[in-house]
Homo-oligomer: A and B are copies of this chain.
Amino acid sequence: MGDNDDSKVFIGKKKAMAYVMAAMVVLNEGPVKLLARGRSISRAVDVAEITIHKFVKGSHYGEIKIGTEALENADGISNVSSIEIEILPAKK
B-facing residues in A37-66 (Cβ within 8 Å): 38-42, 45-46, 48-49, 53, 61, 64, 66
Query: Count the A residues whose beta carbon is within 8 Å of the partner chain — how many?
Result: 19
Task: Assess whether A67 is interfacial by the CB under 8 Å rule.
Answer: yes
Task: Assess whether A27 is interfacial by the CB under 8 Å rule.
Answer: no
State the oligomeric state as a number of copies: 2
Q: Which residues of B contact A39 (CB under 8 A)?
A: 39, 42
Residue of B nearest to A42 (CB): B41
Q: A64-B64, A64-B66, A66-B64 are in contact. Are A45 and B41 (CB under 8 A)?
A: yes
Q: Which residues of A contact B (CB under 8 A)?
A: 38-42, 45-46, 48-49, 53, 61, 64, 66-68, 81-83, 85
